[in-house]
Amino acid sequence: MTENRNISSLSGISNDLSDTSNGVTLNAFAKINLTLDVLGIRSDGFHEVEMIMQQISLCDTVTVDWQPMEDAGGVYINLNTDRSDIPSGPGNLAFKAALLMADMFGKKQRGQISIDIKKSIPAAAGLAGGSSDCAAVIHALNVIWELGLPLSELCRAGAKLGSDVPFCIMGQAAANDLLKPAFSDDPLSCHCALAYGRGTELKPIRPGLQSYIALSKPGISVSTAEVYAGIDSEPVMIHPDNSKMMQALSENNNKVVRENMVNVLENFTLKRYPVIVYTKNKMSDLCNSGSALMSGSGPTVFCLCESQAEAQHICCEMLKANEESFAVETTR
């Protein structure tokens, strides 16, 4: 599905480009939450969170092409996806990313941004698929328009669009070969981070988790807004120890990581969605460590595996119940 939109009345600055087509293809990686804590409601209406996110190898492929057109009235955006259930217009975060970048940095640009997204990350899954596509568009236009913006600036832009977008921006910089040279010395370039505040403030954790992972998404969608609204009325008995988790991740201690995985949003979702309970219990039984956790607001459940073979075995078993099941690993 595609959509065109004219956004000629924009403000910002940019570098002029030649009159040839410029294209960039990036991997837009998914994330999992190793911990997720909700500390209350902020004055701006968002929830105060503290969570540890890890980038994983499951990814969409995002291609952004820029075609300069001197006689154009401004910047046009065309977005195409290979999934009919994914929005192709302003309802898509990747489309919004192009709008934002043009608004902030594209006043002098004349031409068309074409975005093509090939989806592998399940939608509405707690894996930041839409946020990661959004981050890839921000990175691509930074490259194509030769803006030279550091990750701190890109993350500030991304935070305007979604709480998970800044983490996806920093993770992609560390994992995409095209981006690595430009950000090799950037302190935010990292695969794992503590996110706090609204989720947009980031503290890199190095080296982060190194593990094979099995993922399984039940065939339902869970509203993030519903989950966060519901957690306000649910008593939280166990909170994650993020300090202990950060130390374990810095020491490559996967045993301690597995023992300290806590997501307080499970308090709400597990009571309301039996299929998530089934998925978590089944994966816990299959996993050698005996522990599985819901990622984000769900419904995807994951477990950390000791080998690729274990991850593949769990994936094969979970495919019998959930068709969106994957054997993956952390990015490095």
163 annotated to a ligand binding site: no
Q: Is 125 annotated as a binding residue?
A: yes
Annotated binding residue at 131?
Answer: yes
Structure tokens at 96: 């919004």
Tracing tokens 């006689």 back to the chain, one arrives at 71
Q: From CA 98, how far away is CA 6, in angstroms rounded?
A: 12
* 31 flagged as catalytic: yes
Asked if residue 240 lies in contact with residue 36, where contact means CB atoms within 8 angstroms, the answer is yes
CB atoms within 10 A of CB 248: 22
Burial degree of 30 (CB within 10 A; 0-12, 13-18, 19+) = buried
First to last CA, the chain: 33
Of 164, 217, 280, 282, catalytic: 164
Q: Please tell me which residue in 31, 96, 280, 282 is annotated as part of the active site.
A: 31
Collect all residues with Cβ–Cβ distance below 8 Å to 23 and sequence separation of at least 6. 63, 64, 65, 66, 144
The residues near 83 (Cβ < 8 Å, ≥ 6 apart) are: 119, 123
Tell whether 132 is in a known binding site.
yes
Could you identify the residue written with the tokens 């004349």?
Answer: 110
Q: What is the Cα 29 distance to its own chain's centre? A: 6
User: Residue 122 annotated as binding?
Assistant: yes
Question: Any binding-site annotation on 219?
Answer: no
| 97 marked among binding-site residues | no
124 annotated as a binding-site residue: yes
Q: Is 128 annotated as a binding residue?
A: yes
Confirm or deny that 129 is annotated as ligand binding. yes
User: Residue type at 21?
Assistant: S
Annotated binding site for ATP: 122-132
Q: Which residues are catalytic?
A: 31, 164
Annotated binding site: 122-132
